[in-house]
Amino acid sequence: MDKQLLLGAEAVAVGAIDAGISGVYAYPGTPSTEITEFIQKSKDAQSRKIRSKWAANEKTAYEAALGMSFAGKRSIVCMKHVGLNVCADPFMNSAITGVNGGLILVVADDPSMHSSQDEQDSRAYGRFAMLPLLEPATQQEAYDAVRFGLDLSEAVKLPVVLRLTTRMSHSRAVIERKAMRDQNAFNPDVNTRQWILLPAIAKKNYAGLIDKQTAIEKSSAESPFNKVVEGKGKKAVIAFGIGYNYVMEVCKTNNLELPVLKISQYPLPKDMVQSFIDKYDDILIVEEGYPIYEELLRGFSDNKKFRGRLDGALPRMGELSPDAVAPALGVKPVVGQPVPDIMVNRPPALCVGCSHRDLYEELNSVLSAYPGKAVFGDIGCYTLGALPPYSAINSCVDMGASITMAKGAAEAGLHPAVAVIGDSTFTHSGMTGLLDCVNDNVQVTIIISDNSTTAMTGGQDSAGTNKMVDICKGLGVEPEHIVTIVPVKPRLEQNIEIIKKEIDYKGVSVILAQRECMQTLARKKKAAKK
Amino acid sequence: MERNIIIAGVGGQGILTIATILDMAAMHAGLNIKQAEVHGMSQRGGEVQTHLRIADGQIFSDLIPMGQADLILSVEPLESLRYLPYLKKDGAIVTSDEPFKNIGNYPDEQKVLDTVRKSAENVVFVDATKIANELGNPKSYNIVMLGAAARFIGISNADFEWAIGNLFGSKGQEVVDLNIKAFYATTK
Ligand SMILES: Cc1ncc(C[n+]2csc(CCOP(=O)(O)OP(=O)(O)O)c2C)c(N)n1
Ligand code: SF4
C-alpha cells in the first residue's frame, strides 16, 4: 500500500481524491487552506478533473458544493471555523434539504486563536444542525474519515461535518492510502421536491431529519472511530478527538492504566456512553474546544462525578496539550528550565516593502489633522497595521465589517469615517456593505488595499483581481470618486493629497491602493526564471 | 527508541527544510513520525517552531510534553532559549551563533550566547553561514545545521544521505553532492 507523510489537512485532501470527489469548494482560512491547495496541485486530481478553484467566500463555496451534490456527484467544502458563520445559512438549511451525492463540510477550528479572532467550536454547529460529525484523532483517521463520511452522507442522505483543529491540520504523520475509487455518475435529482424549502416541504423534511437521528446515532455506536480502551480503577476518561492523544500520551509516559472512552464520531452513541459512565465514579472529560459535552453530561444539576474545563481540572480556554492534561490525571508535570529573563517576543510584522506600509504612512499623515477620526480595519495582512509603528486602525471584527462599521459610525456622527479593507476581503463580504453605503449616501472613505492576492493565508488568487473599478462602478459609486493610487515612497505627497481630498468629500468615495504583494511578486519572478 | 526534537527559528528561515530531511531519514529508517508545524500568522517574521517526534513505537501526542525534548535545534540563538521549558535535563542544544535581528529590542548578543552556553550540558554552536559560504553553497545553511545536530538524533548518517539525495535529486547530482558535503561538514 502507498504510504505518505502528510499534514492532517493534506490527509483529508488525499482522502477526498481517493474517495471519488468531483469537486472541492473553499475559501482560504488558517488552518484549512492546505486541503484545497493540495488538491489544486495534485496530479491525481488534475487527471480526474476535480474542480478546485477558490470561491469568493464560504457561502458561495457551500452552495456550489450543495449544487454538485444535487447533480449526484460527491464534493467537499472546506473552511476555517469562522467561515462556517458566513455559510451558516446554507449549512443549516442543507440539513433540511438533505443531499444526493455525498457532501462533507470540512471545518478547521483554531483553539488558542493562533490565527483567528475567536476559538468557537464547530461541534456546536454539528449539534445545532443535527448532523453527523467526525473528529479524527490521527492523520490516518483524517484520511479514512473522508471516505467514511461520504459513504455515511450518501447512506443517510445528509451532509456530514468533518472537524479538524489546528494541531490536527498542521501536524504530519504517515498515512496509508486505499485504492482510488470512481467518481459518481452525473445524476441530478430533478424528480423530488426535497430541495424546495417551502414551509410545507420543509416541515416534512425537518421531521425526516429528526427521524434520521436514530440511524446516525447507530452509525456512531458502530463507528470505527469510537472505542473503549480498557483500564483499571474507578477513575476514567472520556476523550474527544485529538484530546485522546494527549490522554494516551500521559498514560503511556506515566504507566497509567485508565479506562478511556474515545469519541471521534457524533452524535454521542448513547448506550455506549451510558454504560461507560455507569461504571466509574470520577470521569474526566477532555475536549479540544468548548466544554460542550462536559456541560451536557454534567446536566442541569451538575453531576459532580464529571470533571473537565468547567471545574478547573482542565484550563477553561485554549488548546490542550499533554501538559494541560497531565495534572488532571494526577500527574505532576515535568518542566524543563524556565525561559530566561532576557527573552523578548518576535511579533509578526508586515514584510519590508509591503504596500500596506506605505498606505498606512500616508493615511496616518492625513488623519493626524483630524482629531475625531476613526479607521475601521478588516482582516488580512493589513490588520498588522494595528501594531506599532503604525497603530493605524481602531477595529478588526469579521470579514467586511470595516465598511459597514464605518457606515454606522458615520451615521452616528463620526467624521472622518475610514474603512481599510483588502481586495479579497472586499469581494468576500465587502461589496454588499458598499452598496448599502451608496444607497444611503453616507460620508465614508473606503480604502481598498488591493495587492492582487489573498496574502494573509499564503497568496491565493483573489476573486476580484482586475475587476475592482468595475465592481465599484457597478455598485453605484460615482466614477470620479473611485480613485486609484499606487502606494510607493516617491508618490507619498501626491497620495496624501488625494486621500485628503476624498476624506473631505461629502459622500461615498473609494480609494483603490494598488500594488502587488511582495511575496507573490517574488514567487512570480522565481517561477519566471525557471 | 524515541527522540523528541524542537526545531526553532524565525519565519522565513526555512526550518521546514530541516524537518523534511529529518522526516524522510526517519521514514527510511522505518520509524514512526509526528511533526507539528506552525503555519499562518506567525510565519511573517515571527517566531516559528516545529515539534518533531520520532520513535519505533506508537506516538500519541503531536506536541512534545514539557521537559521531554532531547534536542533543541535552532537556526537562531535567541530562539533556542524560547523552548527551554521543553528541554530534558540531559537534553542538547544545537544552535547557529548568528542572531537574526528583526526586532528593535533584541537582547545583548553576548548575553544571549552566554545564556545558551549555560542552558545545557551539551551545547553546540554552529557558524553555519561561514561554513556554508566556504563550501560555496550559502543555501546549504540549514543542512549544515542538521549535520551538527545529527549525532543527537539517533538516525544513521546513511539514512540522512538517502534523504538528502531524495530531496535534492530532481536538481541533479551536483546539488545532491554539495548538500551531502554540507551535511558532513559538521557531523564530527
Ligand atoms: C470568514 C473568514 N474567512 C476566512 C478568513 C481567513 N482570512 C483572514 S485574512 C484573509 C485574506 C485577506 O486577504 P486580503 O483581504 O486580500 O488582504 P491581504 O492579506 O492580501 O492583505 C483570509 C482568507 C477569516 N478570517 N474569516
Ligand atoms: S505577505 Fe504581502 S501583503 Fe502580507 S505583509 Fe508581506 S508583502 Fe504585505
Any CB–CB contact under 8 A between B86 and chain A? Answer: yes
- The yes-or-no verdict on residue A359 having pLDDT over 60 is yes
**A265 membership: H or E segment, kind and range:** strand A265-266
CA separation for the pair A52, A461 (Å, rounded)? 12
Q: How confident is the model at residue A491 (pLDDT cuts 50, 70, 90)?
A: very high
What pLDDT, on a 0 to 100 scale, did the predictor assign at position A336? 87
Q: Which of A453, A427, A440, A448 is nearest to A502 (CA)?
A: A448
- The yes-or-no verdict on residue B44 having pLDDT over 80 is no
Q: How many CA atoms lie within 13 A of A93 on its CB side?
A: 16
Q: How confident is the model at residue B116 (pLDDT cuts 50, 70, 90)?
A: very high
What pLDDT, on a 0 to 100 scale, did the predictor assign at position B8? 97
How big is the CA angle at A447 (ends A445 and A452), to the nearest 5 degrees? 160
Report the CATH fold assignment for A355-522: Rossmann fold (3.40.50)
Of A285-299, A332-346, A487-501, minimum mean pLDDT range: A332-346
The answer to whether residues A292 and A331 touch, using CB atoms and an 8 Å cutoff, is: no
What pLDDT, on a 0 to 100 scale, did the predictor assign at position B42? 59
Q: Which of A149, A441, A166, A143 is nearest to A319 (CA)?
A: A166
- At A223-255, the pLDDT tens digits run 999 999 999 999 999 999 999 999 999 999 999
What pLDDT, on a 0 to 100 scale, did the predictor assign at position A530? 74
CA separation for the pair B54, B181 (Å, rounded)? 25
- At B49-70, the pLDDT tens digits run 999 999 999 999 999 999 999 9
The SS3 of residue A316 is coil
Distance (angstroms) between ligand 1 centre and the Cα of A407 equals 21
CA separation for the pair A161, A125 (Å, rounded)? 9
**B43 membership: H or E segment, kind and range:** none
Helix, strand and coil content of chain B, in percent to the nearest 5, comes to: 45, 25, 30
Give the domain ranges of chain A: 3-221, 227-329, 355-522
What pLDDT, on a 0 to 100 scale, did the predictor assign at position A184? 98
- The yes-or-no verdict on residue A2 having pLDDT over 90 is no
Grid look-up 545532491 returns: B176
CA separation for the pair A187, A73 (Å, rounded)? 7
Quote the radius of gyration of chain A (alpha carbons, Å). 25
Distance (angstroms) between ligand 1 centre and the Cα of A88 equals 18
Contact A30 B39 (CB under 8 A): yes
Q: Which of A402, A411, A505 is nearest to A447 (CA)?
A: A402
What pLDDT, on a 0 to 100 scale, did the predictor assign at position A18? 98
Distance (angstroms) between ligand 2 centre and the Cα of A487 equals 13
Q: Which ligand is nearest to the CA of B46?
A: 2
Report the CATH fold assignment for A3-221: Rossmann fold (3.40.50)
Residue of A351, A421, A488 with the most ligand 2 atoms within 8 Å of its CB, for mutation: A351
Of A31, A172, A344, nearest to B107 by CB-CB distance is: A344
Which positions in chain B touch A323 (Cβ < 8 Å)? 65-66
The SS3 of residue A60 is helix
Strands of A426-470 (E only): list them. Answer: 444-450
- At A398-436, the pLDDT tens digits run 999 999 999 999 999 999 999 999 999 999 999 999 999
Q: Tell me which amino acid residue A92 is.
A: M
ipTM score assigned to the predicted complex: 0.95
CA separation for the pair A301, A283 (Å, rounded)? 16
Any CB–CB contact under 8 A between B84 and chain A? Answer: yes
Which positions in chain B touch A262 (Cβ < 8 Å)? none
Contact B45 A351 (CB under 8 A): yes
- The yes-or-no verdict on residue A67 having pLDDT over 70 is yes
Distance between the two ends of chain B, CA-based, in angstroms?
22
What pLDDT, on a 0 to 100 scale, did the predictor assign at position A427? 98
CA separation for the pair B30, A80 (Å, rounded)? 34
Average pLDDT, chain A: 97
- Domain A3-221 shares a fold with domain A227-329: yes
Any CB–CB contact under 8 A between B121 and chain A? Answer: no
- At A251-287, the pLDDT tens digits run 999 999 999 999 999 999 999 999 999 999 999 999 9
Any CB–CB contact under 8 A between A171 and chain B? Answer: yes
| Grid cell of A196 as nine digits | 424546495
Q: How confident is the model at residue B41 (pLDDT cuts 50, 70, 90)?
A: low
The SS3 of residue A132 is coil
Q: Specify the CATH class of A227-329 in words.
A: alpha beta
Q: Which ligand is nearest to the CA of A62?
A: 1
Percent residues over pLDDT 90 in chain B:
92
Grid look-up 469519541 returns: A263
- At A436-462, the pLDDT tens digits run 999 999 999 999 999 999 999 999 999
Q: How confident is the model at residue A1 (pLDDT cuts 50, 70, 90)?
A: low
- At A70-110, the pLDDT tens digits run 999 999 999 999 999 999 999 999 999 999 999 999 999 99
Q: Which ligand is nearest to the CA of A457?
A: 1
Min distance B52 CA to chain A CA atoms (Å): 9
Report the b/e string of A295-332 with b at 16+ CB within 10 A.
bebbeeeeeeebbbbebebbeeeebbbbbbbbebbebe
Predicted model pTM = 0.97
Strands of A98-159 (E only): list them. Answer: 103-109, 133-134
Q: Tell me which amino acid residue A489 is.
A: K
How big is the CA angle at B101 (ends B151 and B78), to the nearest 5 degrees? 40
| Grid cell of A239 as nine digits | 476523550
- At A124-181, the pLDDT tens digits run 999 999 999 999 999 999 999 999 999 999 999 999 999 999 999 999 999 999 999 9
Q: Sketch out chain B's domains with CATH numbers.
A: 2-184 (3.40.920.10)
Residue B57 class from Cβ within 10 Å (0-12 exposed, 13-18 middle, 19+ buried)?
Answer: exposed
| Grid cell of B182 as nine digits | 554540507
B 124-163 residues inside an 8 A Cβ radius of A: none
Distance (angstroms) between ligand 2 centre and the Cα of A379 equals 13
- At B80-112, the pLDDT tens digits run 999 999 999 999 999 999 999 999 999 999 999
Residue A516: CB atoms within 10 A of its CB come to 16
- At B118-155, the pLDDT tens digits run 999 999 999 999 999 999 999 999 999 999 999 999 99
Grid look-up 465514579 returns: A281
Q: Which of A268, A263, A241, A239 is nearest to A251 (CA)?
A: A239
Residue B9 class from Cβ within 10 Å (0-12 exposed, 13-18 middle, 19+ buried)?
Answer: buried
The answer to whether residues A165 and A289 touch, using CB atoms and an 8 Å cutoff, is: yes
For residue B51, what are the β-bridge partners?
B6, B36
Q: Tell me which amino acid residue B2 is.
A: E
- The yes-or-no verdict on residue B43 having pLDDT over 90 is no
Rounded (10°) CA dihedral B172, B173, B179, B185:
-160
Min distance A242 CA to chain B CA atoms (Å): 8
Rounded (10°) CA dihedral A423, A424, A427, A432:
-80
What pLDDT, on a 0 to 100 scale, did the predictor assign at position A29? 97
Diameter over CA atoms, chain B: 45
| Grid cell of B162 as nine digits | 538517502
CA separation for the pair A114, A319 (Å, rounded)? 10
Q: What mean pLDDT do residues A380-400 have?
A: 96
